[in-house]
Chain A
């Protein structure tokens, strides 16, 4: 579990049962859509997100929970700072891997 970030971040993990990438939402559930992801601004918010990740891991609903730091320029867009996260969100750059 990554340390809480103080800027702008969302919480992600993988679903334990099927491995799907999931995001923590404002209404306290996991969604497979990044558009649903609750954005934390500043330390208090992101600490809360990090706690939600720890609790979900302890409850064995998700695995590998961590915060994704987002570009701070825009207040609502969910664009990761790190290339790794951009690629993870985009999925494999291979057509048939994205089908099914």
Chain B
């Protein structure tokens, strides 16, 4: 993986020192909350429903075992013994004290981490494919361009106060596992006939109260043109974005109001006049970063696949759901579900973080990834080590075999933590997980995405789920609206609202009926939920849930 150079390291250390000084001034009463708030937000420190919350960046979801061990230490020393993996591949701590945050940032800097730009109207953490660099269906490793974009966007003086937050996602594979079409700008990295990197650029995607699937802005942009283009796209947005109305301030609204063609024309005019000098080093820098990733990639001698013929059924079941194809024969990508039956999506204890770090050292060359589905990936596992890894995971309660299944639920923190929430997400996720695990043991449900958000901001990606659940406040009672047919892959779509909302207690019953309807109507076990939904439409589901009630 990428290692900081001296410049990166001194930058994060200086930033931690700066924040220590700001916190000292706040505690001494020299800074009011109005003065301090923008400073703390620029370092990922929120004030939530119960306490401060610190969001730590995990660039493109990639972590070393040493970093995860440090996160476990922070969870145990400065928090209540756990952290929460987010849908943007970051981690949140829910209970840090302001007085402790300078020490926490020092600890993070010590392992090449920080919390910069995890909040505020700036370019946020760049997210990517959790299988980056190892996926069997990959055209090109998306991490070098993601890292280059991280460095470009870090404290970029023009883009520190955008009309609204700005999210990039990058993939480099045939299957989009990074949900690029639900981002402000999504980048699909490919290679041209000569083997050089080129990038399809999508713009104007997003969720929230106005969900939109991004539109293709330009295809096959060569590397030297990409960074000037992104700069120009941001500049035009910065100039015209609706600062007067935060609900209309995202780029998706600008693109819609201007029209894609007009937006494109403005961007092209901006690119034509852009000063190229700052981009003169892009190709050399990309090459340096790419080399750094390659140096950090372990040598992988091709080997034999494992034979599951006589394997223990629990292990072969886990391999079937949790192991993905690796680009090197005889190697495997192991996905670790942190969604046990009745568990809290994304929550991991300090003890589990240490156990995962130890297992990553033994079985994945000390490297792991956090996924936007709030799970963990080991990218470098020898097929012959899978059984030992599975046994190690099962011993610490992390052997759940439900990746990609309905019980692999995405849920945001909701009204259990979030100051913006209108309803709780977590208890709903826990009840659904219990119900769905029981059903998965009996029926072959196949792969279904089920996502829950605690308000219209949609951090739980409910719009992009096959079955989406949105928690609302109806006359001071929690009410849950269900959407069907959303998907976040290369055929991205926004789910349709099924009908009136449900009380919390009625959500599992409604979801169960939706699943029954799918099982009745699918043409075979191969027909996935969104395909059945696309074929039969909303009505049969509506009838099952509302008329049959």
List the interface of chain A (C-beta within 8 A of B).
14, 16-21, 57-60, 63-64, 81-84, 87-88, 91-94, 96-97, 99-100
Are A60 and B80 in contact (CB-based, < 8 A)?
no
Q: Are A17 and B99 in contact (CB under 8 A)?
A: yes
Q: B98: which A residues are within 8 A, CB to CB?
A: 16-19
**Interface digits, B47-66 against A, CB 8 Å rule (1 contact, 0 not)?**
10111100000000000000
B residues near A97, Cβ cutoff 8 Å: 80, 82, 94, 416
Query: Using Cβ atoms and an 8 Å threshold, which residues of chain B touch A83?
Result: 415, 473, 476-478
Q: A18-B98, A64-B33, A96-B80 are in contact. List 15 more A-B contacts (CB 8 A).
A: A16-B33, A20-B51, A57-B33, A58-B32, A59-B29, A60-B31, A82-B476, A83-B473, A84-B421, A84-B473, A91-B50, A92-B416, A93-B427, A97-B80, A100-B80
Q: Least Cβ distance of B469 to chain A in Å?
A: 16
Q: Which residue of chain B lies nearest to A82 when distances are taken between CB atoms in the complex?
A: B476
Q: Is the CB of A14 within 8 A of B80?
A: no
Q: Does B81 sit at the interface, judged by CB under 8 A?
A: yes
Q: Kindly list chain A residues whose C-beta atoms are within 8 Å of the C-beta of B415.
A: 83-84, 87
The distance from the CB of A63 to the nearest CB of chain B, in whole angstroms, is 5
Q: List 15 A-B contacts (CB under 8 A).
A: A21-B50, A60-B33, A82-B476, A83-B476, A88-B50, A92-B417, A92-B426, A97-B80, A97-B82, A97-B94, A97-B416, A99-B80, A99-B81, A100-B80, A100-B81
Cβ-defined partner of A94 (8 Å) among B33, B51, B81, B426: B426
A64 to B95, CA, bound (A): 16
Task: Please indicate the chain B residues that have their CB under 8 angstroms from the CB of A91 in the complex.
Answer: 50
> B96 contacts which chain A residues (CB < 8 A)?
19
Interface string of B415-431 (1 = CB under 8 A from A): 11100010010110000
Residues on A with C-beta less than 8 A from B94 are: 92, 97
Contact across chains for B49 and A16 when beta carbons are under 8 A apart? no
- Complex formed: what's the CA distance from A30 to B349 in Å? 32
With an 8 A cutoff between CB atoms, is B115 at the interface? no
A-B residue pair count with CB separations less than 8 angstroms: 82
| Secondary structure type dominating chain A contacts | loop
Bound form: Cα–Cα A96–B81 in Å: 9
Minimum CB distance partner of A62 in chain B:
B33
Roughly how many angstroms separate A17 CA and B29 CA in the complex, as a whole number? 11
Given A16-B98, A60-B32, A60-B33, A93 and B416 contact (CB-CB distance below 8 Å): yes
Beta-carbon contact of B344 and A94 below 8 Å: yes
Taken together as a complex, chains A and B put the C-alpha atoms of A96 and B348 apart, in Å, by: 11
Nearest CB to that of A98 among chain B residues?
B80
Q: Are A17 and B33 in contact (CB under 8 A)?
A: no
Q: B89-103 toward A: CB 8 Å interface, digit per residue (1/0)?
A: 000001111110000
Q: Are A60 and B426 in contact (CB under 8 A)?
A: no
B50 touches A18 (CB 8 A): no
Q: How far is the CB of B349 from chain A (nearest CB, A)?
A: 8
Which residues of B are found within 8 Å of A92, using beta-carbon distances? 50, 94, 416-417, 426
Chain A, residue nearest B427 (CB): A93
- A92: nearest chain-B partner, CB-CB: B416
A92 to B48, CA, bound (A): 12
In the complex, what distance in Å separates the CA atom of A96 from the CA atom of B94? 12
Instruction: Answer whether A60 and B29 are a contact pair too, CB < 8 Å, given A18-B98, A94-B344.
Output: yes
Which residue in chain B gives the minimum CB-CB distance to A90? B416
Say if the beta carbon of B26 comes within 8 Å of chain A: yes
User: Contacts of A100 on B, CB cut-off 8 Å?
Assistant: 80-81
* Chain A residues within an 8 Å CB radius of B32: 57-58, 60
CB of B534 within 8 Å of the partner chain: no
Of A21, A58, A83, the most chain B CB neighbours within 10 A belong to A83
Q: Which residue of B lies closest to A20 (CB)?
A: B51
Residue with the highest number of chain B CB atoms closer than 10 Å, among A16, A82, A92, A93: A92
A81 to B427, CA, bound (A): 22
- A63–B48 CA distance with the chains assembled, in angstroms: 11
Closest to B99 in A: A17
The answer, yes or no, to whether B14 is at the interface (CB within 8 Å) is no
Cβ distance A90 to chain B, nearest Cβ, rounded Å: 9
Contact A19 to B95, CB < 8 A, known contacts A59-B29, A60-B29, A96-B82: yes
Interchain CB contact under 8 A, B33 and A63: yes
Rounded to whole angstroms, the CA-CA distance of A8 and B80 in the bound complex is: 34
Are B416 and A87 in contact, with the CB atoms below 8 A? yes
Q: Does residue B155 face the partner (Cβ distance < 8 Å to A)?
A: no
Which chain A residues lie closer than 8 Å to B258 at the CB level?
none
From B31, B49, B52, give the contact of A87 (CB < 8 A).
B49
**A18, B26: Cβ atoms closer than 8 Å:** no
Q: Write the B428-466 contact mask toward A (1 if CB under 8 angstroms, else 0).
A: 000000000000000000000000000000000000000
Q: Which residue of A lies closest to B27 (CB)?
A: A17
Interchain CB contact (< 8 A) of B97 among A19, A82, A84? A19
| Shortest Cβ gap from B504 to chain A (Å) | 11
CA distance A59 to B26 in the complex (A): 11
CB distance from A31 to the nearest CB of B (A): 16
Q: How far is the CB of A83 from chain B (nearest CB, A)?
A: 5
Chain B contacts for A87, CB-based, 8 A = 49, 415-416, 424
Closest to B416 in A: A92
Query: What A residues does B52 contact at CB under 8 A?
Result: 14, 19
Inter-chain contact B49/A18, CB cutoff 8 Å: no
Q: Give B76's nearest chain A residue, CB to CB.
A: A100
**Nearest chain B residue, comparing its CB with the CB of A99:** B80
Q: Which of B323-376 contact A (CB under 8 A)?
A: 344, 347, 349
User: Shortest distance in angstroms between A16's beta carbon and chain B's nearest beta carbon?
Assistant: 6
Least CB separation from A93: chain B residue:
B427
A82 to B415, CA, bound (A): 13
Residue with the highest number of chain B CB atoms closer than 10 Å, among A58, A97, A99:
A97
With CB as the reference atom, state the residue of chain A lying closest to B52. A19
Q: B49, A88: Cβ atoms under 8 Å?
A: yes
| B166-196 interface bits toward A, Cβ cutoff 8 Å, 1 = contact, 0 = none | 0000000000000000000000000000000
Q: Which chain B positions have C-beta within 8 A of A84?
A: 49, 415, 421, 473
